[in-house]
Amino acid sequence: MTQSGPVGFIGLGVMGGAMARRLIGAGYEVHIHARNPDRAAPVLALGAHWAGDIAALARTCRTIFTIVGGPDDVAALYLGEAGLIANAAPGTVLVDMTTSTPDLARRIASEAASRGVSALDAPVTGGAPGAEVGTLTFMVGGDTGALDAVRPMLWTMGATIFAMGPAGSGQITKASNQVAVAGILMGLAEALHHAETAGIAPEKVLEVLMTGTAGGPLMQRLGPKMVAGDSTASFAIDHFIKDLGIALDTAPLPGAALCRDLYRDLAAEGGGAKGIQALIEHYRRS
């Protein structure tokens, strides 16, 4: 059975703001809350309703989406007397799209179930461009019935939905995705630097790479920025360090650990707000 009624949305950053706008554009009645009220203005201008606090939003909406900074923010939203779980009515479906930890996702699902509430962990990949045009990929952990109830809303924000298994499975999948991204970025940065030091134009090497086996969407999107030295962020280094840390807490991953350390060095030098393509800076100055 598909969820109906007002839809709650918490977290209006680059990703969340775009996703909330898509729900409004599809005709949903969207109630919003954000830690920084200034971020709410563009969404309110489109017809969203402001909720003064988390508890008020939970009492109003039977479907609530969240996408915030990290596990600590997720725990603060969901747990405790003022949180979403304690104030949601039975039958509510809570969908956390934050990149968080599997253990926290499992805890939230368990506590929600004890109150007749469903909780899904549904992190996304596709970045800010995907959020704007509705081509995100959702990796969902949790009850398939709850997932089916919110599929129409997810289709409004994304193009691909994977049911990965029980609670926490979405977060494990997202961590795996970020480990793969780390490997691709390291390989691309090293390849371009190798070409540069040999006197070959990196833009020509990139053109070759993108037409061959190594090519892919990430290379197509970030490769030209690496070549140009454009560090403008659509996904910041600080966030990627957090994501790799989540993965490394679950398993020994030597490649991801090396990549995380390289990014930590860049962040320590003041580059945490740069885009993840700025990894090439490490190689160019070495």
Closest CA to 78 of 51, 57, 49, 50: 57
Same domain (yes/no): 85, 224: no
**Residue partners of 235: CB distance under 8 A and separation at least 6:** 127, 128, 275, 276
Same domain (yes/no): 227, 276: yes
3-state secondary structure of 216: coil
The per-residue DSSP string of 273-285 comes to TSBGGGGHHHHHT
pLDDT at residue number 162: 98
- Tell me which of 174, 204, 242, 274 is the catalytic residue: 174
Q: Six-digit token pair at 94?
A: 């809570």
pLDDT at residue number 3: 81
Q: How many domains does the chain have?
A: 2
Q: In the listed set 134, 166, 198, which residue is the last one of a domain according to the structure?
A: 166
Whether residue 31 contacts residue 7, with contact meaning beta carbons closer than 8 Å, is answered with yes
Same domain (yes/no): 12, 154: yes
Same domain (yes/no): 177, 126: no
pLDDT at residue number 1: 66
pLDDT at residue number 25: 97
Is there a catalytic annotation at residue 204? no
Residue 111 CA to residue 17 CA, distance in Å, equals: 28
Same domain (yes/no): 162, 180: no
Same domain (yes/no): 18, 129: yes
Same domain (yes/no): 92, 182: no
List the CATH number of the domain containing 136: 3.40.50.720
- On the 0-12 / 13-18 / 19+ scale of CB atoms within 10 A, 85 is buried
pLDDT at residue number 4: 80
Q: In the listed set 148, 166, 184, which residue is the last one of a domain according to the structure?
A: 166
Per-residue tens of pLDDT for the chain, all 286 residues: 678 899 999 999 999 999 999 999 999 999 999 988 888 999 999 999 999 999 999 999 999 999 999 999 999 999 999 999 999 999 999 999 999 999 999 999 999 999 999 999 999 999 899 999 999 999 999 999 999 999 999 999 999 999 999 999 999 999 999 999 999 999 999 999 999 999 999 999 999 999 999 999 999 999 999 999 999 998 999 999 999 999 999 999 999 999 999 999 999 999 999 999 999 999 998 7
3-state secondary structure of 238: helix
With respect to residue 262, please indicate whether it lies within any of the assigned structural domains. Answer: yes
pLDDT at residue number 96: 98
Domain residue limits at 119: 7-166
Residue 137 CA to residue 122 CA, distance in Å, equals: 9
With respect to residue 144, please indicate whether it lies within any of the assigned structural domains. Answer: yes
With respect to residue 201, please indicate whether it lies within any of the assigned structural domains. Answer: yes
pLDDT at residue number 134: 97
With respect to residue 157, please indicate whether it lies within any of the assigned structural domains. Answer: yes
Same domain (yes/no): 152, 179: no
Longest CA–CA span in the chain (Å) reads 65
Same domain (yes/no): 226, 95: no
Stated pTM of the model: 0.93
Q: How many residues does the chain have?
A: 286
Same domain (yes/no): 18, 140: yes
With respect to residue 125, please indicate whether it lies within any of the assigned structural domains. Answer: yes
List the CATH number of the domain containing 204: 1.10.1040.10
With respect to residue 95, please indicate whether it lies within any of the assigned structural domains. Answer: yes
Same domain (yes/no): 118, 30: yes
3-state secondary structure of 79: coil
Q: In the listed set 145, 166, 187, which residue is the last one of a domain according to the structure?
A: 166
With respect to residue 12, please indicate whether it lies within any of the assigned structural domains. Answer: yes
With respect to residue 2, please indicate whether it lies within any of the assigned structural domains. Answer: no
Same domain (yes/no): 157, 181: no
